[in-house]
Amino acid sequence: MISRPKGTGTAMTTTQPNTPPSTADEPTMPLSRAFIDALDTTPPADDPTDFGELPVSVWATAQTSPAAQRKDRYVPESTAHPAKMLPAVAAHAIEHYTKPGDLVLDPMCGIGTTLVEAIDLGRRAVGIEYEPHWADIARANLRLARKRGHDHDGQVVRGDARQLETLLPVECAGQVALVVTSPPYGPSVHGLVKTDREPGVDKVSKRHYRYGSALDRGNLANIGHHRLLAGFTRILTACARVLRPGGHVVITVRPWREHAELIDLPSQVIACGVAAGLVPVERCVALLARVAETDLVARGSFFQRDFIRKQRDVGLPLHLIAHEDIIVLQARDSRERAGGATGEKLVHDEYGAIGPGHWAA
């Protein structure tokens, strides 16, 4: 049975996802501003949440381009999403932490990358998506996967992931082997290029770089950094409740710059996971650059390259992003269990896990 928040008495149902939350249901988990400001992964020595050194693995997930990874496997409309997860990242997490027939969840599934990769690998999948348009695209991608012969259970529920336990089908309670997701980044470096040519003028503009309407304050991408972290903590708390014993949460995330200041979102996400009752067990590197014989070949977008050039012009020695951080967590009561479904045993200390690193193609 799945545990419930005290005093709610809420059962997992298949209620309509468009049903608005009750007035008693706060839009974000109540976290103090002081907690958010102090998010860090280097607590004092006597802090019981000090997990020490986390195991690190490098995932070689960009040996082929993002377009090649999606070719003939995702509908063309998928391209317009501002922050698509790299299919190879989701596929590696699913292969490493689950076995065929397991249930995989993405509470912010976007175009359904996690779901498509899961059913292609013989797993069951369920996703939650806030924006109706992307929920429709995710369903179209699942239909395309089924046409390829992958007919495992896969479904998309339209709704706010902060209401996760009221949105998931009742049969998912305590059955989720793996959560794979990513928080929204906002309009920083995403988007597609459009060139308008006029006589003597080439005008380059950016499109498809925002999540839905900027006026929609229910969208986590539009509510500011601190409320985003609080909302994401609430989502992780609900994910922890639906995990089966030994289940994992895998979050792909990267830092970004705001007014030239580096926002260390990966470390903040780890702290959000701890606040949600999860235990960090790995902090890995998923490459966004191709591994060549002697170096890495970056695959930056036009706007990422343009941003780097402009920053260098004003004296900031920035480089193209070559990887994303992969944060791996487990439910606190399963920290002494075996590490995932692959049979690879993790040796745990009092608070964390120590295990071998690996390269993955």
Instruction: Give, for all 361 residues of the chain, the pLDDT tens digit.
Output: 333 333 333 333 333 444 444 333 444 444 555 555 555 444 444 444 455 678 889 999 999 999 999 999 999 999 888 888 999 999 999 999 999 999 999 999 999 999 999 999 999 999 999 999 999 999 999 999 999 988 778 999 999 999 999 999 998 989 999 999 998 865 444 445 455 555 655 555 544 445 555 555 566 665 667 788 888 999 999 999 999 999 999 999 988 777 767 788 899 999 999 999 999 999 999 999 999 988 888 887 776 778 788 888 888 887 778 889 999 999 876 554 444 443 343 333 332 332 333 334 3
Q: Find out whether 134 and 111 touch, Cβ atoms under 8 Å.
A: yes
Q: How would you classify the pairing of strands 323-331 and 243-253?
A: antiparallel
Q: How far is CA 209 from CA 98, 113, 181, 186, in A?
A: 33, 18, 19, 8
Model pLDDT, residue 198? 57
Q: Which of 341, 124, 340, 333 is nearest to 241 (CA)?
A: 333
Can you tell me whether residue 6 is helix, strand or coil? coil
- Could you tell me where the beta strands, DSSP code E, fall in the chain? 58-59, 103-106, 124-129, 154-158, 176-181, 192-198, 201-207, 243-253, 256-258, 261-263, 278-287, 290-291, 296-297, 323-331, 347-348, 353-354, 359-360
Rounded to 10°, the helix 225-242/265-275 angle is 50
Q: How would you classify the pairing of strands 290-291 and 192-198?
A: unpaired
Q: Which CATH superfamily is domain 52-185+224-360 in?
A: Vaccinia Virus protein VP39 (3.40.50.150)
CB atoms within 10 A of CB 10: 13
Whole-angstrom distance, CA of residue 233 vs CA of residue 341: 26
Whole-angstrom distance, CA of residue 299 vs CA of residue 64: 10
Q: Would residue 122 be called left, alpha or beta, if left means φ above 0 and alpha means ψ between -120 and 50 degrees?
A: left
pTM for this prediction: 0.73
Model pLDDT, residue 254? 86
Q: Find out whether 123 and 104 touch, Cβ atoms under 8 Å.
A: yes
